[in-house]
Amino acid sequence: MSETRPGRDRAILVGFDFGQQGFPESLEELGQLALSAGIEPVATITGRRSRPDPALYAGKGKAEEISAAAKAHGANLVVFNHQLSPAQERNLNNALGARVVDRTALILDIFGQRAQSRAGKLQVELAQLEHASTRLVRSWTHLERQRGGHGMMGGMGETQLEIDRRLIGKRVKLLKDELRKLDRQRSVQRRARTRGGVFSASLVGYTNAGKSTLFNALTHAQSYAADQLFATLDTTSRKLYLGGFGQIVVSDTVGFIRELPHTLVEAFRATLEETIRADVLIHVVDSASPSRAEQVAEVNAVLAEIGASDVPQIMVWNKTDASGLEPGVERDEYGKISRVRLSARTGAGVELLRESLIEAASVRNAPPADAKNHEFQDPVADR
Protein backbone atom coordinates (compact mmCIF):
# COMPACT_ATOMS: atom_id res chain seq x y z
CA MET A 1 0.00 0.00 0.00
CA SER A 2 1.17 3.45 -0.80
CA GLU A 3 0.52 4.61 2.80
CA THR A 4 3.34 2.48 4.11
CA ARG A 5 5.86 3.46 1.45
CA PRO A 6 9.05 4.50 3.20
CA GLY A 7 10.14 8.12 2.72
CA ARG A 8 6.77 9.41 1.64
CA ASP A 9 6.89 12.53 -0.49
CA ARG A 10 5.85 15.69 1.32
CA ALA A 11 4.05 18.14 -0.88
CA ILE A 12 2.93 21.75 -1.01
CA LEU A 13 -0.36 21.99 -2.88
CA VAL A 14 -0.87 25.05 -5.06
CA GLY A 15 -4.13 26.24 -6.58
CA PHE A 16 -5.18 29.44 -8.30
CA ASP A 17 -8.62 30.93 -8.32
CA PHE A 18 -9.42 32.34 -11.76
CA GLY A 19 -13.03 32.82 -10.76
CA GLN A 20 -13.84 29.32 -12.06
CA GLN A 21 -16.71 27.28 -10.64
CA GLY A 22 -15.98 24.81 -7.85
CA PHE A 23 -12.56 26.18 -6.91
CA PRO A 24 -12.60 25.00 -3.24
CA GLU A 25 -13.89 21.53 -4.19
CA SER A 26 -11.29 21.16 -6.90
CA LEU A 27 -8.54 22.05 -4.41
CA GLU A 28 -9.93 19.61 -1.87
CA GLU A 29 -9.92 17.00 -4.63
CA LEU A 30 -6.24 17.73 -5.29
CA GLY A 31 -5.55 16.86 -1.64
CA GLN A 32 -7.38 13.55 -2.11
CA LEU A 33 -5.47 12.90 -5.32
CA ALA A 34 -2.19 13.49 -3.47
CA LEU A 35 -3.19 11.11 -0.65
CA SER A 36 -4.33 8.54 -3.20
CA ALA A 37 -0.87 8.75 -4.79
CA GLY A 38 0.74 8.12 -1.39
CA ILE A 39 1.90 11.73 -1.03
CA GLU A 40 1.54 13.67 2.20
CA PRO A 41 0.18 17.19 1.65
CA VAL A 42 1.84 19.46 4.26
CA ALA A 43 0.53 22.89 3.24
CA THR A 44 -1.75 24.52 0.70
CA ILE A 45 -1.05 27.81 -1.00
CA THR A 46 -3.72 29.57 -3.00
CA GLY A 47 -3.72 32.69 -5.09
CA ARG A 48 -5.98 34.72 -7.26
CA ARG A 49 -5.04 35.62 -10.82
CA SER A 50 -6.79 36.72 -13.96
CA ARG A 51 -4.58 34.42 -16.04
CA PRO A 52 -1.49 32.26 -15.55
CA ASP A 53 1.93 33.85 -15.78
CA PRO A 54 3.49 32.53 -19.00
CA ALA A 55 6.87 31.80 -17.39
CA LEU A 56 6.06 30.60 -13.86
CA TYR A 57 2.27 30.13 -13.86
CA ALA A 58 2.36 31.89 -10.45
CA GLY A 59 3.55 35.46 -10.08
CA LYS A 60 7.06 36.12 -8.84
CA GLY A 61 5.98 36.97 -5.29
CA LYS A 62 3.77 33.89 -5.08
CA ALA A 63 6.59 31.72 -6.36
CA GLU A 64 8.77 33.00 -3.52
CA GLU A 65 6.00 32.25 -1.02
CA ILE A 66 5.76 28.67 -2.33
CA SER A 67 9.51 28.24 -2.18
CA ALA A 68 9.61 29.53 1.43
CA ALA A 69 6.74 27.21 2.43
CA ALA A 70 8.52 24.24 0.88
CA LYS A 71 11.63 25.01 2.95
CA ALA A 72 9.64 25.62 6.16
CA HIS A 73 7.71 22.35 5.85
CA GLY A 74 10.55 20.24 4.48
CA ALA A 75 8.55 19.53 1.34
CA ASN A 76 10.32 17.90 -1.60
CA LEU A 77 7.39 18.22 -3.96
CA VAL A 78 5.10 21.00 -5.21
CA VAL A 79 1.84 19.95 -6.82
CA PHE A 80 0.00 22.43 -9.03
CA ASN A 81 -3.74 21.96 -9.43
CA HIS A 82 -3.43 22.98 -13.07
CA GLN A 83 -1.93 21.87 -16.29
CA LEU A 84 1.56 23.35 -16.63
CA SER A 85 3.28 23.91 -19.93
CA PRO A 86 6.66 22.16 -20.26
CA ALA A 87 8.39 25.56 -20.01
CA GLN A 88 6.49 26.56 -16.85
CA GLU A 89 7.28 23.22 -15.27
CA ARG A 90 10.95 23.62 -16.04
CA ASN A 91 11.12 27.22 -14.81
CA LEU A 92 9.30 26.31 -11.61
CA ASN A 93 11.62 23.39 -10.98
CA ASN A 94 14.54 25.80 -11.11
CA ALA A 95 12.87 28.58 -9.12
CA LEU A 96 11.34 26.55 -6.29
CA GLY A 97 14.12 24.17 -5.35
CA ALA A 98 11.62 21.29 -5.22
CA ARG A 99 10.25 18.92 -7.81
CA VAL A 100 7.17 20.35 -9.48
CA VAL A 101 4.38 18.22 -10.90
CA ASP A 102 1.02 19.18 -12.33
CA ARG A 103 -2.41 17.64 -11.92
CA THR A 104 -2.05 15.49 -15.02
CA ALA A 105 1.24 13.99 -13.85
CA LEU A 106 -0.31 13.25 -10.45
CA ILE A 107 -3.26 11.41 -12.00
CA LEU A 108 -0.90 9.51 -14.30
CA ASP A 109 1.14 8.51 -11.26
CA ILE A 110 -1.92 7.11 -9.47
CA PHE A 111 -2.92 5.19 -12.58
CA GLY A 112 0.64 3.84 -12.78
CA GLN A 113 0.46 2.58 -9.18
CA ARG A 114 -2.95 0.96 -9.66
CA ALA A 115 -2.62 -0.71 -13.04
CA GLN A 116 -3.04 -4.47 -12.66
CA SER A 117 -3.95 -6.02 -15.96
CA ARG A 118 -1.58 -6.24 -18.90
CA ALA A 119 -3.72 -3.84 -20.91
CA GLY A 120 -3.97 -1.40 -17.98
CA LYS A 121 -0.19 -1.32 -17.56
CA LEU A 122 0.41 -0.80 -21.27
CA GLN A 123 -2.20 1.96 -21.42
CA VAL A 124 -0.69 3.82 -18.48
CA GLU A 125 2.84 3.53 -19.85
CA LEU A 126 1.66 4.85 -23.18
CA ALA A 127 -0.04 7.84 -21.54
CA GLN A 128 2.98 8.56 -19.35
CA LEU A 129 5.34 8.35 -22.29
CA GLU A 130 3.20 10.70 -24.32
CA HIS A 131 2.84 13.16 -21.43
CA ALA A 132 6.59 13.05 -20.73
CA SER A 133 7.74 13.19 -24.32
CA THR A 134 6.43 16.71 -24.96
CA ARG A 135 8.36 17.87 -21.91
CA LEU A 136 11.53 15.92 -22.60
CA VAL A 137 11.73 16.80 -26.24
CA ARG A 138 11.66 20.49 -25.44
CA SER A 139 14.22 20.35 -22.66
CA TRP A 140 16.37 18.24 -24.93
CA THR A 141 16.08 20.84 -27.64
CA HIS A 142 17.57 23.18 -25.13
CA LEU A 143 20.36 20.73 -24.31
CA GLU A 144 21.01 20.16 -27.94
CA ARG A 145 21.46 23.87 -28.48
CA GLN A 146 23.94 23.98 -25.62
CA ARG A 147 25.94 21.28 -27.30
CA GLY A 148 26.00 23.21 -30.51
CA GLY A 149 23.38 21.04 -32.12
CA HIS A 150 25.77 18.24 -33.02
CA GLY A 151 25.70 15.16 -30.84
CA MET A 152 29.05 13.88 -29.69
CA MET A 153 27.64 10.42 -29.09
CA GLY A 154 25.90 9.78 -32.37
CA GLY A 155 28.65 8.10 -34.32
CA MET A 156 26.47 7.99 -37.42
CA GLY A 157 25.80 11.72 -37.31
CA GLU A 158 22.81 11.23 -35.04
CA THR A 159 22.39 13.54 -32.07
CA GLN A 160 21.49 12.13 -28.67
CA LEU A 161 18.15 13.84 -29.03
CA GLU A 162 17.45 11.96 -32.24
CA ILE A 163 18.47 8.67 -30.68
CA ASP A 164 16.20 9.22 -27.67
CA ARG A 165 13.33 10.31 -29.86
CA ARG A 166 13.76 7.22 -31.94
CA LEU A 167 13.79 5.00 -28.84
CA ILE A 168 10.65 6.63 -27.45
CA GLY A 169 8.97 6.41 -30.84
CA LYS A 170 9.87 2.72 -31.04
CA ARG A 171 8.48 2.03 -27.56
CA VAL A 172 5.26 3.94 -28.33
CA LYS A 173 4.77 1.90 -31.49
CA LEU A 174 5.42 -1.35 -29.61
CA LEU A 175 2.88 -0.42 -26.92
CA LYS A 176 0.27 0.51 -29.49
CA ASP A 177 0.80 -2.77 -31.37
CA GLU A 178 0.45 -4.76 -28.15
CA LEU A 179 -2.70 -2.87 -27.21
CA ARG A 180 -4.22 -3.47 -30.63
CA LYS A 181 -3.54 -7.19 -30.22
CA LEU A 182 -5.24 -7.22 -26.81
CA ASP A 183 -8.15 -5.25 -28.22
CA ARG A 184 -8.63 -7.83 -30.96
CA GLN A 185 -8.75 -10.59 -28.34
CA ARG A 186 -11.26 -8.61 -26.34
CA SER A 187 -13.48 -8.07 -29.33
CA VAL A 188 -13.59 -11.82 -29.90
CA GLN A 189 -14.71 -12.31 -26.30
CA ARG A 190 -17.18 -9.51 -26.76
CA ARG A 191 -18.67 -11.13 -29.86
CA ALA A 192 -19.07 -14.36 -27.92
CA ARG A 193 -20.92 -12.47 -25.21
CA THR A 194 -23.17 -10.68 -27.67
CA ARG A 195 -23.97 -13.93 -29.43
CA GLY A 196 -25.06 -15.32 -26.11
CA GLY A 197 -27.40 -12.34 -25.91
CA VAL A 198 -26.57 -11.69 -22.28
CA PHE A 199 -27.87 -8.33 -21.10
CA SER A 200 -25.01 -6.19 -19.82
CA ALA A 201 -24.87 -3.20 -17.47
CA SER A 202 -21.80 -1.05 -16.75
CA LEU A 203 -21.30 1.01 -13.62
CA VAL A 204 -19.93 4.41 -14.56
CA GLY A 205 -19.46 7.57 -12.54
CA TYR A 206 -17.15 10.02 -10.90
CA THR A 207 -14.28 8.58 -8.93
CA ASN A 208 -15.23 7.76 -5.30
CA ALA A 209 -18.98 7.82 -6.08
CA GLY A 210 -19.29 4.28 -4.74
CA LYS A 211 -19.33 2.17 -7.93
CA SER A 212 -17.28 -0.68 -6.50
CA THR A 213 -19.25 -0.71 -3.25
CA LEU A 214 -22.46 -0.96 -5.27
CA PHE A 215 -20.93 -3.60 -7.55
CA ASN A 216 -20.10 -5.67 -4.46
CA ALA A 217 -23.55 -5.13 -2.97
CA LEU A 218 -25.18 -6.25 -6.22
CA THR A 219 -22.99 -9.22 -7.06
CA HIS A 220 -21.59 -10.20 -3.65
CA ALA A 221 -18.15 -9.84 -5.19
CA GLN A 222 -15.01 -8.54 -3.51
CA SER A 223 -14.09 -5.64 -5.75
CA TYR A 224 -11.58 -3.27 -4.17
CA ALA A 225 -13.49 -0.30 -2.72
CA ALA A 226 -11.65 2.38 -0.82
CA ASP A 227 -11.85 6.01 0.12
CA GLN A 228 -9.28 6.97 -2.45
CA LEU A 229 -9.49 8.25 -5.99
CA PHE A 230 -9.14 5.76 -8.81
CA ALA A 231 -9.27 2.72 -6.53
CA THR A 232 -10.47 0.80 -9.57
CA LEU A 233 -8.60 0.82 -12.87
CA ASP A 234 -9.44 -2.39 -14.60
CA THR A 235 -12.89 -3.35 -15.68
CA THR A 236 -14.24 -6.30 -13.68
CA SER A 237 -17.31 -8.19 -14.85
CA ARG A 238 -19.53 -10.57 -12.91
CA LYS A 239 -22.64 -12.50 -13.68
CA LEU A 240 -25.65 -11.40 -11.73
CA TYR A 241 -28.73 -13.51 -11.33
CA LEU A 242 -31.92 -11.51 -11.18
CA GLY A 243 -34.78 -13.50 -9.71
CA GLY A 244 -37.68 -13.57 -12.15
CA PHE A 245 -35.49 -12.61 -15.10
CA GLY A 246 -32.30 -14.60 -15.27
CA GLN A 247 -28.67 -13.83 -15.80
CA ILE A 248 -27.13 -10.50 -16.76
CA VAL A 249 -23.52 -9.25 -16.69
CA VAL A 250 -22.48 -6.26 -14.58
CA SER A 251 -19.15 -4.46 -14.98
CA ASP A 252 -17.31 -2.15 -12.59
CA THR A 253 -15.20 0.45 -14.40
CA VAL A 254 -12.61 3.18 -13.89
CA GLY A 255 -13.94 6.42 -12.39
CA PHE A 256 -13.89 9.78 -14.15
CA ILE A 257 -12.61 13.08 -12.82
CA ARG A 258 -12.69 16.70 -13.93
CA GLU A 259 -9.86 17.53 -16.31
CA LEU A 260 -9.24 13.85 -16.95
CA PRO A 261 -5.95 14.07 -18.82
CA HIS A 262 -6.56 13.76 -22.50
CA THR A 263 -3.62 11.41 -22.94
CA LEU A 264 -5.36 9.07 -20.50
CA VAL A 265 -8.71 9.19 -22.26
CA GLU A 266 -6.84 8.36 -25.47
CA ALA A 267 -4.81 5.55 -23.92
CA PHE A 268 -7.82 4.08 -22.12
CA ARG A 269 -10.12 4.46 -25.09
CA ALA A 270 -10.33 0.73 -25.71
CA THR A 271 -11.24 0.04 -22.08
CA LEU A 272 -13.65 2.93 -21.88
CA GLU A 273 -15.29 1.90 -25.12
CA GLU A 274 -16.32 -1.35 -23.48
CA THR A 275 -18.87 0.75 -21.67
CA ILE A 276 -20.44 1.86 -24.93
CA ARG A 277 -21.32 -1.71 -25.69
CA ALA A 278 -23.28 -2.15 -22.51
CA ASP A 279 -27.06 -2.31 -22.85
CA VAL A 280 -27.46 0.11 -19.97
CA LEU A 281 -25.17 2.36 -17.94
CA ILE A 282 -25.68 2.57 -14.20
CA HIS A 283 -24.50 6.13 -13.61
CA VAL A 284 -23.52 6.31 -9.93
CA VAL A 285 -23.62 9.74 -8.27
CA ASP A 286 -22.40 10.63 -4.78
CA SER A 287 -25.54 12.39 -3.56
CA ALA A 288 -23.66 13.65 -0.50
CA SER A 289 -21.02 15.52 -2.52
CA PRO A 290 -21.44 19.28 -2.81
CA SER A 291 -19.99 18.94 -6.36
CA ARG A 292 -22.49 16.31 -7.52
CA ALA A 293 -23.89 18.50 -10.33
CA GLU A 294 -20.45 19.20 -11.85
CA GLN A 295 -19.52 15.55 -11.38
CA VAL A 296 -22.56 14.37 -13.34
CA ALA A 297 -21.77 16.89 -16.08
CA GLU A 298 -18.14 15.75 -16.22
CA VAL A 299 -19.11 12.08 -16.48
CA ASN A 300 -21.57 12.83 -19.27
CA ALA A 301 -18.89 14.86 -21.09
CA VAL A 302 -16.44 11.95 -21.03
CA LEU A 303 -19.21 9.55 -22.09
CA ALA A 304 -19.91 11.85 -25.05
CA GLU A 305 -16.22 11.93 -25.91
CA ILE A 306 -16.08 8.14 -26.16
CA GLY A 307 -19.35 7.98 -28.07
CA ALA A 308 -21.50 6.55 -25.27
CA SER A 309 -24.10 9.31 -25.00
CA ASP A 310 -26.81 7.19 -26.57
CA VAL A 311 -26.56 4.26 -24.19
CA PRO A 312 -29.58 4.37 -21.85
CA GLN A 313 -28.72 5.37 -18.28
CA ILE A 314 -30.15 4.51 -14.92
CA MET A 315 -29.05 7.27 -12.56
CA VAL A 316 -28.22 6.00 -9.10
CA TRP A 317 -28.15 8.58 -6.35
CA ASN A 318 -25.90 6.72 -3.94
CA LYS A 319 -24.99 7.42 -0.30
CA THR A 320 -28.53 8.29 0.81
CA ASP A 321 -27.36 7.46 4.34
CA ALA A 322 -24.97 10.40 4.16
CA SER A 323 -27.12 12.86 2.19
CA GLY A 324 -30.38 12.30 4.04
CA LEU A 325 -32.33 11.33 0.89
CA GLU A 326 -35.01 8.66 1.23
CA PRO A 327 -34.31 5.49 -0.79
CA GLY A 328 -36.80 5.21 -3.65
CA VAL A 329 -37.30 5.34 -7.41
CA GLU A 330 -38.33 8.06 -9.83
CA ARG A 331 -39.88 7.44 -13.22
CA ASP A 332 -39.65 9.41 -16.44
CA GLU A 333 -42.62 10.59 -18.52
CA TYR A 334 -42.91 7.13 -20.14
CA GLY A 335 -43.13 5.45 -16.75
CA LYS A 336 -39.61 4.00 -17.04
CA ILE A 337 -37.43 4.03 -13.90
CA SER A 338 -34.93 6.84 -14.48
CA ARG A 339 -33.47 7.35 -11.05
CA VAL A 340 -32.88 5.14 -8.04
CA ARG A 341 -31.94 6.56 -4.65
CA LEU A 342 -30.05 4.07 -2.53
CA SER A 343 -27.20 3.40 -0.16
CA ALA A 344 -24.66 0.88 -1.39
CA ARG A 345 -23.15 0.87 2.08
CA THR A 346 -26.25 0.02 4.12
CA GLY A 347 -27.97 -1.82 1.29
CA ALA A 348 -31.13 0.30 1.57
CA GLY A 349 -32.69 0.63 -1.88
CA VAL A 350 -30.32 -1.79 -3.65
CA GLU A 351 -33.32 -4.05 -4.24
CA LEU A 352 -34.94 -1.20 -6.19
CA LEU A 353 -31.96 -1.12 -8.53
CA ARG A 354 -32.33 -4.86 -9.13
CA GLU A 355 -35.95 -4.24 -10.05
CA SER A 356 -35.07 -1.48 -12.44
CA LEU A 357 -32.42 -3.69 -14.05
CA ILE A 358 -35.04 -6.40 -14.55
CA GLU A 359 -37.25 -3.77 -16.12
CA ALA A 360 -34.51 -2.54 -18.46
CA ALA A 361 -33.43 -6.08 -19.38
CA SER A 362 -37.02 -7.18 -20.04
CA VAL A 363 -37.58 -4.26 -22.40
CA ARG A 364 -34.49 -5.15 -24.41
CA ASN A 365 -35.41 -8.82 -24.57
CA ALA A 366 -39.01 -8.12 -25.49
CA PRO A 367 -39.94 -8.83 -29.11
CA PRO A 368 -40.02 -5.70 -31.29
CA ALA A 369 -43.28 -3.82 -31.25
CA ASP A 370 -44.55 -4.86 -34.69
CA ALA A 371 -43.84 -8.52 -33.95
CA LYS A 372 -46.20 -8.16 -31.03
CA ASN A 373 -48.83 -6.67 -33.32
CA HIS A 374 -48.69 -9.76 -35.48
CA GLU A 375 -49.18 -12.09 -32.58
CA PHE A 376 -52.32 -14.06 -32.89
CA GLN A 377 -54.91 -12.81 -30.49
CA ASP A 378 -58.26 -14.46 -30.42
CA PRO A 379 -60.87 -11.85 -29.56
CA VAL A 380 -63.50 -14.49 -29.32
CA ALA A 381 -61.66 -16.65 -26.85
CA ASP A 382 -60.77 -13.55 -24.86
CA ARG A 383 -64.38 -12.63 -24.46
Determine contact, residues 256/205, Cβ cutoff 8 Å. yes
Report 84-143 residues binding ligand GTP (CB under 6 A): none
Radius of gyration of the chain, Cα coordinates, nearest whole angstrom:
25
265: exposed, middle or buried (C-beta count within 10 Å: 0-12, 13-18, 19+)?
middle
Q: Which stretch binds Mg ion (CB under 5 A): 5-13, 68-76, 223-231, 335-343?
A: 223-231
Residues 326, 345, 287, CA angle at the centre, nearest 5°? 50
Task: Spell out, one character per residue from 326 to 345, where the chain touches ligand GTP: x when CB under 6 A holds, - when not.
Answer: -----------------xxx
Give the nearest residue (CB) to ligand GTP: 255
Q: In the complex with ligand GTP, which residue's Cβ is closer, 227 or 326? A: 227
Smallest separation, CB 343 to ligand GTP (Å): 4
Residue 229 found at the interface with ligand GTP (CB under 6 A): yes
Residues 276, 280, 286, CA angle at the centre, nearest 5°? 95
Smallest separation, CB 205 to Mg ion (Å): 9
Smallest separation, CB 210 to Mg ion (Å): 8
In order of 53, 138, 143, 161, 171, the CA distances from 156 in angstroms are 42, 23, 19, 13, 21
Residue 275 found at the interface with ligand GTP (CB under 6 A): no
Q: HEC profile for 118-172? A: HHHHHHHHHHHHHHHHHHHHHHHHHHHHHCCCCCCCCCCCCCHHHHHHHHHHHHH
Q: Which stretch binds Mg ion (CB under 5 A): 86-94, 204-212, 278-286, 296-304?
A: 204-212
Q: In the complex with ligand GTP, which residue's Cβ is closer, 89 or 321? A: 321
Residue 212 found at the interface with Mg ion (CB under 5 A): yes
For the chain, the residue count is: 383
- Contacts with Mg ion by CB under 5 A lie at 211-212, 231-232
- Contacts with ligand GTP by CB under 6 A lie at 205, 207-213, 225-227, 229-232, 255, 318-319, 321-322, 343-345
